[in-house]
């Protein structure tokens, strides 16, 4: 089959559409809320791992969460080592927390014990 035939049948990925690629670790270790927030952060900040960005409660509504659900997902991503808090928020009006995507995953979750804990959640 030629490349033209594959393309005409929709076999190639549309390069105009944003995509997130996840490893097995993320798929098995994250609950649905954490996964949704993590994908949102990767879509908007995944190309620049060292870039700092705000994670404010106001984001909750944009991804369909309440503030409590959003905070639990954010805290879960921090606990699992997928995002790092650079500066905590709440130091006055309109001061969100500043975060960045972790360069590497939490070492605990790279072990078999860590993966087992993730599966048991």
Placement of tokens 């993730």 in the chain? 118
pLDDT of residue 118: 47
Does a structural domain hold residue 7?
Answer: no
pLDDT of residue 35: 94
Q: Please choose, from the candidates 56, 61, 63, 118, the residue with its C-alpha nearest in 3D space to the C-alpha of residue 91.
A: 56
* Interval 24-46 mean pLDDT: 89
* Interval 20-39 mean pLDDT: 87
Task: Dump pLDDT digits (tens) for 46-99.
Answer: 777 678 999 988 899 999 999 999 999 999 999 988 999 988 887 777 788 899
Does a structural domain hold residue 87?
Answer: yes
How far apart are the C-alpha atoms of 119 and 117, rounded to whole Å?
5
Does a structural domain hold residue 47?
Answer: yes
Average pLDDT score over the chain? 78
Q: How many other C-beta atoms can be found within 10 angstroms of the C-beta atom of residue 28?
A: 12
Q: How many other C-beta atoms can be found within 10 angstroms of the C-beta atom of residue 82?
A: 23
Does a structural domain hold residue 83?
Answer: yes
Strands in 53-55's sheet, in edge-to-edge order, are 53-55, 97-101, 83-87
* Interval 9-30 mean pLDDT: 72
Answer yes or no: pTM beyond 0.85. Answer: no
The structural domain count of the chain equals 1
Does a structural domain hold residue 8?
Answer: no
Q: Which residue segment(s) compose the domain that 118 sits in? A: 38-121
| Res 109 pLDDT > 60 | no
pLDDT of residue 32: 95
Does a structural domain hold residue 74?
Answer: yes
Q: Please choose, from the candidates 22, 45, 92, the residue with its C-alpha nearest in 3D space to the C-alpha of residue 55.
A: 45
| Res 40 pLDDT > 60 | yes
Compare 117 and 10 and report the one with higher pLDDT. 10
């Amino acid at each position: 089959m030629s490349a033209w035939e594959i393309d005409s049948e929709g076999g190639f990925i549309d390069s105009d559409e944003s995509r997130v690629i996840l490893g097995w670790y993320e798929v098995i270790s994250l609950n649905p809320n954490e996964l949704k927030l993590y994908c949102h952060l990767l879509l908007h900040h995944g190309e620049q791992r060292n870039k700092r960005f705000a994670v404010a409660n106001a984001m909750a509504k944009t991804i369909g969460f309440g503030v409590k659900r959003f905070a639990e997902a954010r805290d879960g991503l921090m606990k699992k080592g997928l995002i790092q808090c650079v500066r905590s928020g709440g130091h006055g009006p309109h001061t969100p927390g500043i975060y960045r995507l972790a360069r590497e995953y939490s070492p605990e979750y790279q072990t078999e014990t860590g993966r087992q804990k993730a599966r048991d959640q």
